[in-house]
Amino acid sequence: MDTNPVAGNPQPQSQVPVQPVTPAPVNPEPVLTPAPSSQPAPHTGNSRKKILAILSIIILVIVILGSFAYLYFANNQLSYNVNTVPTLAPPTSTPTPTEAQINPNDTSDKSLDNDQKVLDKEVNNLNSDVNNVDTGFNDQQPSLE
């Protein structure tokens, strides 16, 4: 009986039958290996440091130029040539009406009939104006073909 060197306990040893190794069948087809590709060499730590240094210098230059430009334009008072837009003067006289005016103090039947005719004519004129505007909105562009 052999003893277990770790625990110092005797343990029986059993033998396991070993089977003979059979060789793997040979494949008659040739094995194709891929051709080496032209891949760029992997970046080394030194080239990465160079790239980072160049990028940080470019960013630093952009920030410095931007701050100088900001300070230059913020401190310079730019003068703009702004011409004043002429304002239209309001009309000095009221247009003369072509229709008879409504007189609120006259309440006779004849006057009321006259006022109703004036109102009807004004409302019809307003309706005509609204219809003209609607027609203008509904205009379609002619075909350009």
Q: Using the predicted structure, report yes or no on whether residue 38 has a pLDDT greater than 90.
A: no
* Stretch among 44-48, 62-66, 98-102, 130-134 having the lowest mean pLDDT: 98-102
pLDDT digits (tens, 9 = 90+) for 117-131: 888 988 999 898 888
Name the residue among 97, 94, 141, 102 with its Cα closest to residue 120.
102
Locate the domains of the chain by residue range.
Answer: 46-76
Q: What is the 3-state secondary structure (H, E, C) of 40-76?
A: CCCCCHHHHHHHHHHHHHHHHHHHHHHHHHHHHHHHC
Higher per-residue pLDDT: 58 or 7: 58
Give dist(CA 55, CA 7) in Å, integer. Answer: 64
**Rounded mean pLDDT of 40-68?**
87
Q: Is 102 exposed, middle or buried (0-12, 13-18, 19+ CB in 10 A)?
A: middle
Q: Tens of pLDDT along 66-89?
A: 999 998 888 777 666 667 666 777
